[in-house]
Amino acid sequence: MRLTPVPLFFYKHPAEAVEYSGLSGLITHGDKKAYDACRYYGALIVAAVNGVEKK
């Protein structure tokens, strides 16, 4: 998946990780839903890497 390297690179900067995750999706998917989905999954990846609890 092309998305994963983006939040891994920016894992110390969650806001940038989420923003650039969305932008990476725009390369091939111009739809707003795809942009939002990439931002969401980018946030999940950053949270997991940083050890955030589910609660």
Domain for residue 13, yes or no?
Answer: yes
User: 38 is in which domain, residue-wise?
Assistant: 5-49
Instruction: Measure the CA–CA gap between 31 and 13, rounded to whole angstroms.
Output: 25
Q: Note the pLDDT of residue 27.
A: 83
Closest CA to 17 of 30, 26, 8, 25: 8
pLDDT digits (tens, 9 = 90+) for 1-55: 689 999 999 999 999 999 999 999 888 888 899 999 999 999 999 999 999 998 8
Global pTM reads 0.88
Give the number of C-alpha atoms closer than 13 A to the C-alpha of residue 37, restricted to the C-beta side. 9
Does residue 44 form part of some domain? yes
pLDDT of residue 16: 98
Check the CA dihedral 11-17-20-26 and report its sign. positive
Q: So what's the pLDDT on residue 14?
A: 96
Q: Which residues of 7-32 are buried (b: 16+ CB within 10 A; e: fewer)?
A: beebbeebebbbebbbebbeeeeeee
What is the tally of structural domains in the chain?
A: 1
